[in-house]
Amino acid sequence: MHSREEKLQAFGRLLDVMDTLRERCPWDAKQTNQSLRPNTIEETYELCDALLNEDQPNICKELGDVLLHIVFYAKIGSEKEAFDIADVCNKLCDKLIYRHPHVYGNVQVDGTDQVLQNWEQLKTHEKDGNKTVLSGVPKSLPSLIKASRIQEKASNVGFDWHEREDVWPKVKEEIGEFEAEVEHMDRDHATREFGDLLFSLVNAARLYHINPDTALEYTNQKFTRRFTYVELEARRQGRELKELTLEEMDALWNEAKQEE
């Protein structure tokens, strides 16, 4: 691993490269916050894929891509004389120190739950903090992740079940309400009730320390892997998927399960 001096030197090199690209590369020179934003989202998801797969070489690579965007936005900010990378780092450090009084102060905590509760309470006391507990949840978050963050924040201020097992009657209640709306064939009401059901399942996942987005992505990958096996086996037989009966596809699906 590199020394502290080598790490600082590497970060300084990145800043120098960013300055040069901004001055000499036509593409880099014309970029704005808004033009970079879609790429930032894409790079973040690519990092998430690498993290999910525990792919260390790709994690390193994708972290670099995300870091480039951070430095790029800071460079644009300095050109506008609004802020620079030093401001970004110092504000982050100030926030971390302020929100960790159990590390930098005399506050005593009993476990991670209390750390999170203190974190949310300190946020509301900051000068530029969120006006409400949930106002800090980005509106642009994907719905599944947003539901998880909403519930975490509510829990951190005490709005939660007394025991995690208490969530299951609520899940069953939401299943019943969804089934009732489906029977009535009311698409709008069924959509809303299905949302309630998903929200209750996300809540259950949180209580059992399961990340619902990660869990669903594992299933997405599993389904893709098995379905691709079915498709490739059908082609090997000289057939298209639509030519297979459901029973034949199920048989190939079970083969794919056994291969795992």
Tell me the two tokens of residue 152.
């975490």
**pLDDT cut 70: percent of the chain above it:** 97
pLDDT of 7 higher than 90 = yes
92: which 2 tokens? 């982050």
**78 by DSSP, 3-state: which?**
helix
20-65: pLDDT as tens digits: 999 999 999 999 999 999 999 999 999 999 998 899 999 999 999 9
Residue with tokens 């390193």: 60
Residue 119 scores a pLDDT above 90: no
Residue type for 63, please?
L
Average predicted confidence (pLDDT) for the chain? 91
Residue 128 has pLDDT above 90, yes or no: no
Q: Which long-range contacts (CB under 8 A, 24 or more apart) does 221-225 make?
A: 225/256, 225/260
pLDDT digits (tens, 9 = 90+) for 144-174: 999 999 999 899 888 999 999 999 999 999 9
pLDDT at 150: 95
- Can you say whether residue 177 is alpha, beta or left, with left for phi > 0 and alpha for psi between -120 and 50 degrees? alpha
The contacts of residue 28 (CB under 8 Å, 6+ apart) are 21, 22, 72
Mean pLDDT of 128-154: 85
Lowest mean pLDDT among 106-120, 172-186, 198-212, 245-259: 106-120
Work out the average pLDDT over 172-189.
92
pLDDT of 8 reads: 96
Tell which residue, 231, 251, 254, has the closest CA to residue 243: 231
Residues 6+ apart with CB under 8 A from 243: 234
- Residue 199: the pLDDT is 97
Q: Determine the Cα–Cα distance for residues 101 and 120; give it in Å rounded to an integer.
A: 13
Q: Which of 60-64, 140-144, 202-206 has the lowest mean pLDDT?
A: 140-144
